[in-house]
Structure 1
Amino acid sequence: MIVRKLPGGKLLCIHQTSHALMAHDFCRHWGNRDFARPEPNSIVLAAIAQHDNGWTQWEQHPALNDDGSPMDFLHGPDGVEKIALWQRGVDHAYAQHPYMAVLVGRHASLLYGEDSSSSTVAFVARQQQLLTDMRQQFAGDPEMSAAFGDAAVVANTRILQFGDSASLQVVIPWAESRTFADCPIDSSGATVAIKMRIEGDAVTFSPWPFDVAAFAVNIHGRLLSQQQFAHEREYHAALQAAPIRTLRWSVVREL
C-alpha cells in the first residue's frame, strides 16, 4: 500500500499493484534511436506491470500501524512476511512466464540483497537458482537463451527498476527531481544516467529514452477523509466506501 497525504488531512490509499501498472506505463514506450527496446518486449513489460502482484492478497485486508494510521509499504509488514509476499509474487509471475519470475525475483533481490536475515538470504539464493534452472530449460530457444544472458537480465531488470522508481517518485513524491543511474542503452551493458524532473503534473526525462514525444500516466486510489482508525474492521469498511480518486501526469520531452 502507498499512502499519499493530500490537502485537508485526507489520505489517498493506492495499491502496490496499481503502482506497478503505472510503472509499466512509464516503460511501455522505451526504445528509440538512442535506446534499445527491451526484449522479449511483451514479457518484460508484463513483468513490470506484475512486479508487485505478491501484494494482492495483503491489500485485500491491509493492516494499520500501531497508532491506527494506514500501514504503507515503507513501514510494514515485517521482514519475514514481506519476503513471503515477494516469493508469492515470483510464483505468480512464473505462472505467466518464467522470464517474468526471473525479473521480479532479481528486482526484489536487489532491494533486499544487503539484508543478512535467513529468510532474505534463502530468498536471494532461490532467485539465483531459478535463473540457473531457466537457462537450462530454455537453452534450445535462441530468443529466450539470449534474454537469459547476464547482460540482458541486468538490462531488463534495470528497466523494471526505472519504471518502479519513476512511478514512486510521482506518487509519493520524494523530490522534484531525481537521477536514475545505470539506465540501459542496450542489452550489452552500456548505460547512462537519466534525470527526471517533476513540475506540477508535468514530468520530463533527459536524455529521452522513449519512442514518442509525449504520453500520459495515471494512478487511482481510495480517498479517505480520516487518518487514524480504532481497528482494522473500521479501516477496511472506510476503504470499501471511499470514493476513487485518479491522479494524472503528462510525460513530455524537453524542448
Structure 2
Amino acid sequence: MIVNSNAEGWEIFSHSAHGLLAGKIADQLKPDIKGRNWVATLTAIVEHDDRQLNFREKDYLTNIGTPQDFLDEDRNINEIIKRSRRLLEQARLKSSWVTILVMKHLEFLYKDLSEESIMIDRFMNEISVEIKELMKVNSMTDQEVHDLYQIMVFADRCSLILCQNGVPAKNRELEINTSIQNTKYVISRNEADDVFIEPWIFEQDSFELSCEYKMLEKASFSGNKEFEDCLRNTPISLRHWKISKLK
C-alpha cells in the first residue's frame, strides 16, 4: 500500500491501482518508443505490482495501529519470495513476454538482497535462466529487453511520485529517473497544479490521468481485521492530474 497522511486521515493507494496508473502513463508515450508487441508490454506495466495485499499473510499496521506504507515494511525474505512467485504464476499464465518484464522488475527490486540471502540468490538465478529461455521464444535481444524495461521503470516511478503526492510545488523540479533512451527526466507543477514532465516524450501535448484511492478518516485500528473491513467498506475516491508539455 501507498499511504499518505493529511488533515482528513489516511489516503490509501493500492499497488494494483498504482500499476494501472503506470500503464496509463506508458500508453501516452510516442509510438516509436513503445516498440513491438505493445499490448503485452503494457500488460506487464499494469500488472507488475499486483498480488501485493494479502491480509491473511501479513499485518499492514504499524505498532501503534496506523496504516503502514510499503516503504516502512520490513523486507521479509520468505514473504518476498512468496509474493514474487504468486505474481510470476499469474504472468506465466498470460504471456512469456509479460513474464520477462515482470522478472526484470523482480531483479531490479531484490537483486541487492542476493549477498545476504541464499534463498534470494537462488531465486534470482532461477529468474535469470528463465528470462534467457523466454527471450529465445520471443526472438528478443538484450537491448530490446533493456529498452522495454526502461519504459516500465519510467512509468512506475512517475506513478509512484503522483500517488505519493510527491510533485514539488512552485515549479521546483524533482528527478524521476534516468531511463528511456538513457535520458534524465524531471517532474514539476505550477500554481494551478498542472504537472510537467521534461523532456517531453509523449504523443499529445497534454493528457489527463486518474487513479482510485480510499480516504480513511479513522486515526488508528485495533488490528488487521478492523483495518481490512474499513478499507473494503470505505467509498472510492478519485484523484486527477493534468500532464502537460512545458511551453
The TM-score normalised by the length of structure 1 is 0.86
**Counterpart secondary structure, 1:228:** coil
Q: CA deviation at 1:60?
A: 9.7
In the alignment, structure 1 residue 72 sits paired with structure 2 residue 69: yes
State whether residues 76 and 82 of structure 1, in contact with CA within 8 Å, keep that contact through their aligned partners in structure 2: no
After TM superposition, the structure 1 = structure 2 runs for residues 1-255 of structure 1, keeping only pairs within 5 Å, are 1-8=1-8, 10-31=9-30, 36-57=33-54, 63-76=60-73, 78-80=75-77, 81-115=79-113, 116=115, 117-136=117-136, 138=137, 144-145=138-139, 148-176=140-168, 177-185=173-181, 191-199=182-190, 201-255=193-247
In structure 2, the CA distance between the partners of 1:47 and 1:212, relative to structure 1 (3 Å rule), is same
Residue matched to 1:188: none
Runs of 5+ consecutive residues of structure 1 not aligned to the other structure = 139-143, 186-190
Percentage of matched positions with identical amino acids? 21
C-alpha RMSD of the superposition = 2.1
Number of equivalenced pairs:
239
Greater CA drift, 36-45 or 149-158: 36-45
Displacement of 1:178 = 2.5
SS of 1:135's equivalent? Answer: helix
Name the CA shift for 1:48/1:220 in 2 (closer, same or farther; >3 Å): same
Q: How many Å separate the matches in 1 of 2:120 and 2:101?
A: 17
Is the 1:53–1:92 Cα contact (8 Å) retained in structure 2? no
| Matches of 2:206 and 2:56, distance apart in 1 | 32
Check whether the contact 1:90–1:101 (CA below 8 A) recurs between aligned residues.
yes
In structure 1, C-alpha distance between the alignment counterparts of 2:233 and 2:177, rounded to whole Å? 41
Counterpart position of 1:141: none
Q: Distance in 2 between matches of 1:120 and 1:108?
A: 11
Which string of whole-angstrom CA distances, capped at 9 and with x for unpartnered residues, describes residues 128-187 of structure 1? 111122134x1xxxxx31xx21011111111101111001101113452322443223xx
For 2:57 and 2:193, the matched residues in 1 are separated by 30
Task: Structure 2 unaligned segments of length 5 or more: list them.
Answer: none
CA distance in 1, matches of 2:125, 2:209: 35
TM-superposed CA distance for 1:56, in Å, is 4.9
Q: Tell me which amino acid in the other structure corresponds to 1:88.
A: R
Higher alpha-carbon deviation: 114-123 or 219-228 = 114-123
Q: Deviations over 1:35-57 (max 9, x none)?
A: 52232211111100010113154
Deviation string, structure 1 residues 219-239 (Cα, Å, up to 9, x no partner): 111111123111112212211
| Greater displacement, 162-171 / 63-72 | 63-72
Q: Contact between 1:180 and 1:195, CA under 8 Å: does it hold in 2?
A: yes
Report the TM-score when normalising by structure 2.
Answer: 0.88
User: Which amino acid in the other structure matches residue 183 of structure 2?
Assistant: V
Amino acid at match of 1:104: V
**Structure 1 pair 208–90 and aligned structure 2 pair: CA distance change class (3 A):** same
Task: Give the stretch that moved more between structures: 20-29 or 104-113.
Answer: 104-113
Quick check: 1:61–1:236 contact (8 Å CA) kept in 2?
no
Measured against aligned partners, the alpha-carbon deviations of 1:205-253 in whole angstroms (never above 9, x if no partner) come to 1111111111111111111112311111221221122121111101111
